[in-house]
Amino acid sequence: MSQKPINYLHLSTLVAVAILVGTELVGASWAAGWALGGLFQLDPMISRGIEIVFAAFGLIGLYFFMKTAIRNEPIRG
């Protein structure tokens, strides 16, 4: 069974989108956690925990975004 060759234009587009959207999404969610910790004057360890949870939500959002992007612009084909 032969596979179609890799379309490097689509691959480079997806890598660029992953970097751009990933930086924006994870950075904004991490900053939101930091801002909430500072706003409510939480203990630094609790604030770091909130930052990590928010960053995890950003990574989950990036995963689903990239899943959709790969479906709409396949690497092979």
Residues 34-62 pLDDT 10s:
999 999 999 999 999 999 999 999 999 99
Classify residue 40: in a domain, yes or no.
Answer: yes
- The alpha-helical segments, DSSP class H, found in 1-77 are 8-39, 44-72
Classify residue 2: in a domain, yes or no.
Answer: no
Structure-token match 């928010």, residue found: 54
Classify residue 20: in a domain, yes or no.
Answer: yes
Give me the residues paired with residue 76 across strands: 6
Domain count, the chain: 1
pTM of the model: 0.86
Classify residue 46: in a domain, yes or no.
Answer: yes
Judged against a pLDDT cut of 80, whether residue 11 lies above it is answered with yes
- Three-state secondary-structure class, residue 6: strand
Classify residue 1: in a domain, yes or no.
Answer: no
Give the range of the structural domain holding residue 38, as residue numbers without chain letter. Answer: 16-72
